[in-house]
């Protein structure tokens, strides 16, 4: 959510930003909220003046009564009573206007960075750099589900019978590999100075509304029937909401956390659920990185965070590239974002494995997360998030890039301590 002062002082900037995001249907909202805000402030000002005048008149009643001016006192009482009714009407209107303003402000997108590429959708995202050599072996690499099945490591048929499409069983070495990359990612981020966290996997609706747009909520989140609870789609949701309504100490910033959680997503939209593989599914596990910092530090943290992803994937022998997200591909709360995509030697193309975002103060403003400066003033923090590892999707890249002609899988040295010292997974 942007600062209402931007609407008050520079509507053209807000409208131009909406146009850059190709959301022209939202343009009328800017003028609408501008006019509602004027009415709200006028209503509040009139109410404040009436309350002040009523208090003065109320104070005069006692004096009039002591001076035996009964008729005058009764007239003042009637006037005070009439003013109280008017004040109550103004207060009701004030609440109504405040609610409408907030509802519209929650829909208007965050201001994007000046250097974000302008484009309507993800086809206009821009490749910035490739890290590592993108090799294609001379031998054929099977489909990832077939690689897993060759080790008796994947059963989607049974999961379909138990849970439906979009779920899976991982078993044996594939399940162990899944846990190993999560443990390695956890320790990798701890070594970078991040605090390890395990958050709640369900959160209240006000927390959901604080961390994501209404459209994202509708397309992603699973609602618990009969409860004000949602299953999280990523641990960023509960990790940012941890600081809801808090005033932090400036000396405590930056707050850097790496969190593990299962994630649950409806995956509503054009992509849909993958029938056979594990690329797009309803349930997965993820190690996340989350940062809360001062505004002037957020772009530096953004660069650190996506670089951590590159470093981690390169230690697993996986080439990656940084893909800068264009304006039309940015969710409404994002200031800038990039995807780290892994190389698929089987498909000979890259696919997304990490998404790094700077949301500036958009989430903090919704959740009222501020910090107190040394001079006593309070400012909203900036929030950032990035995927560390999200198996089983990242296992696709891992298996393809470490697959040998005989069907075995090489285990990179950094991962061996988490795989019982194994240097290779071989078919039994």
Q: What is the pLDDT of residues 156-169, one digit of tens each?
A: 999 999 999 889 99
pLDDT at residue 338 above 70?
yes
**How far is residue 291's CA from residue 308's CA, in Å, rounded to a whole number?**
13
Domains of the chain: 4-105 (1.10.287.40), 122-425 (3.30.930.10)
Give the pLDDT of residue 268.
60
For the residues 267-282, what does the mean pLDDT come to? 71
Confidence of residue 75 (pLDDT cuts 50, 70, 90): confident
For the residues 394-413, what does the mean pLDDT come to? 96
pLDDT at residue 402 above 70?
yes
Round the average pLDDT of the chain to a whole number and report it.
93
Confidence of residue 272 (pLDDT cuts 50, 70, 90): low
Rounded to 5 degrees, what are φ and ψ at 166?
Answer: 95, 10
Rounded to 5 degrees, what are φ and ψ at 292?
Answer: -115, 125
**How far is residue 361's CA from residue 148's CA, in Å, rounded to a whole number?**
42
Rounded to 5 degrees, what are φ and ψ at 364?
Answer: -60, -35
pLDDT at residue 269 above 80?
no
pLDDT at residue 274 above 70?
no
pLDDT at residue 66 above 80?
no
**How far is residue 70's CA from residue 23's CA, in Å, rounded to a whole number?**
64
Which residue do the tokens 């303003």 mark?
101
pLDDT, tens only, 174-229:
999 999 999 999 999 999 999 999 999 999 999 999 998 877 788 889 999 999 99
**Helix %, strand %, coil % of the chain (to 5):** 45, 20, 35
What is the number of other CB atoms lying within 10 angstroms of the CB of residue 379? Answer: 14
Across the strands, what pairs with 127? Answer: 323
Give the pLDDT of residue 426.
92
The lowest-confidence range among 65-74, 147-156, 193-202, 319-328 is 65-74
Confidence of residue 273 (pLDDT cuts 50, 70, 90): low
What is the number of other CB atoms lying within 10 angstroms of the CB of residue 298? Answer: 22
- Whether cis (ω within 30° of 0) applies to the bond prior to 254 is yes
Instruction: Return the axis-axis angle of helices 27-66 and 11-20, rounded to nearest 10°.
Output: 140
Both tokens of 425, joined, read 């997974």
Q: What is the DSSP string of 157-217?
A: HHHHHHT-TT--EE-HHHHHHHHHHHHHHHHHHHHTTPEEE---SEE-HHHHHHHS-HHHH
Confidence of residue 152 (pLDDT cuts 50, 70, 90): very high
Which is more confidently placed, 228 or 57?
A: 228
**How far is residue 46's CA from residue 54's CA, in Å, rounded to a whole number?**
12
User: Is the Cβ–Cβ distance between 108 and 3 less than 8 Å?
Assistant: no
For the residues 43-49, what does the mean pLDDT come to? 91
Confidence of residue 271 (pLDDT cuts 50, 70, 90): low
| Percent over 90 (pLDDT), the chain | 82
Chain mean position to CA 259: 14
Tally of residues, the chain: 428
Phi-psi region of 217 (alpha: psi -120 to 50; beta: other; left: phi over 0): alpha
- Give the full edge-to-edge strand order of the sheet including 336-344: 126-131, 320-324, 336-344, 349-358, 382-389, 283-293, 255-264, 195-197
Q: Which residues lie closer than 8 Å to 74 by C-beta, 6 or more apart? A: none
pLDDT, tens only, 96-143:
999 999 999 999 999 999 999 999 999 999 999 999 999 999 999 999
Rg (CA), the chain: 28
Give the pLDDT of residue 275.
64
- Enter the pTM of the model: 0.90
What is each CA distance from 135 to 343, 346, 395, 407, in whole angstroms? 9, 10, 18, 17
Both tokens of 190, joined, read 């701890």
Q: Whole-angstrom distance between the N-terminal and C-terminal Cα of the chain?
A: 55
For the residues 280-305, what does the mean pLDDT come to? 96
3-state secondary structure of 219: helix
């Amino acid at each position: 959510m942007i600062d209402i002062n931007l609407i008050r002082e520079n509507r053209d900037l807000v409208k131009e930003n909406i146009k850059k995001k190709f959301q022209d249907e939202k343009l009328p909202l800017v003028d609408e909220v501008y006019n509602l805000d004027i009415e709200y402030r006028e209503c509040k000002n009139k109410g404040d003046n009436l309350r002040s005048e009523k208090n003065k008149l109320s104070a005069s009643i006692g004096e009039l009564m002591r001076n035996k001016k009964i008729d005058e006192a009764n007239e003042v009482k009637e006037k005070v009573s009439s003013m109280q009714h008017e004040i109550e009407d103004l207060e009701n209107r004030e609440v109504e206007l405040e609610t409408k303003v907030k509802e519209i402000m929650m829909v208007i997108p965050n201001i994007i960075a000046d250097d974000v590429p302008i484009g309507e959708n993800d086809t206009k995202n821009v490749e910035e750099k490739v890290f590592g050599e993108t090799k294609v072996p001379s031998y054929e690499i099977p489909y990832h589900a077939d690689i897993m099945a060759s080790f008796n490591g994947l059963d989607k048929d049974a999961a379909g019978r138990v849970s439906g499409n979009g779920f899976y069983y991982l078993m044996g070495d594939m399940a162990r590999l899944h846990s190993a990359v999560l443990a390695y990612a956890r320790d990798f981020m701890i070594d970078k100075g991040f605090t390890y966290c395990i958050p709640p996997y369900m959160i209240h609706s006000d927390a959901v509304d604080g961390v994501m747009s209404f459209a994202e909520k509708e397309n992603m989140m699973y609602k618990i029937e009969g409860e004000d609870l949602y299953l999280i789609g990523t641990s960023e949701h509960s990790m940012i909401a941890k600081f809801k309504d808090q005033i932090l100490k400036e000396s405590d910033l930056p707050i850097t956390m790496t969190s593990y959680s299962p994630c649950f997503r409806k995956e509503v939209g054009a992509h849909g659920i993958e029938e056979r593989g594990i690329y797009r599914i309803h349930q997965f596990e993820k190690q996340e990185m989350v940062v809360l910092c001062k505004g002037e530090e957020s772009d530096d943290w953004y660069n650190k965070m996506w670089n951590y992803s590159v470093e981690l994937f390169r230690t697993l022998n996986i080439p990656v590239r940084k893909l800068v997200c264009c304006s039309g591909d940015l969710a409404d709360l994002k200031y800038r974002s990039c995807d780290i995509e892994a190389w698929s030697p089987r498909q000979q193309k890259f696919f997304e494995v990490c998404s790094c975002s700077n949301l500036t103060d958009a989430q903090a403003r919704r959740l009222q997360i501020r910090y107190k400066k040394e001079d006593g003033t309070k400012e909203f923090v900036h929030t950032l998030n990035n995927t560390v590892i999200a198996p089983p999707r990242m296992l696709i890249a891992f298996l393809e890039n470490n697959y040998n002609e005989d069907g075995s899988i090489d285990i990179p040295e950094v991962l061996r301590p988490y795989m019982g010292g194994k240097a290779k997974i071989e078919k039994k």
